[in-house]
Structure 1
Amino acid sequence: MTGNKIAGFSRLEDVLQALAHTSAQTVFISGGTDFINNGTGRNAGLVIDLSQVADLKYIKDLGTEIRIGSGTTFASIAASPVIKTKVCALAQAASRVGSVQIRNRATIGGNIASASPAGDSLPVLAAFNALIYTAGPNGARVLTLEEALNRLQDKELITEIVIPTPDLTSSGFVKIGSRSQVTIAKISLAAIVSYDRKKRLIIAGKAALGALGKVPVCPAKVQDFFSQRVVDECFASDLAQLLAETVDEAIMGRASHPYKKAAVRGLADDLTGLLFDACENH
Structure 2
Amino acid sequence: MSIAYLNGEYLPLEEARISPLDRGFLFGDGIYEVIPYYNGKSVGLMPHINRMINGLSIIEIKNSHTADEWKTLLDDLIAKNSDLGENLGVYVHISRGTDTKRNHAYPENVEPTIFCFAFGIKSPEPADRTKVHQYSLISTEDLRWQRCHIKSTALLGNVIHYQEGHSSGNDEALLYNAKGELTEGSSCNAFIVKDGVISTPIQDNQILPGITRRIIIDSIKADGSLKLEERTVTMDEVRNADEVWVTSSSKEIAPVTKLDGKPVGNGEVGEIWEKAFNIYTAAKFDY
Q: TM-score, normalised by structure 2?
A: 0.28
RCO greater where, 1 or 2, for CA within 8 Å and sep 6 or more? 2
Structure number having the greater strand percentage:
2
Structure number having the greater helix percentage:
1
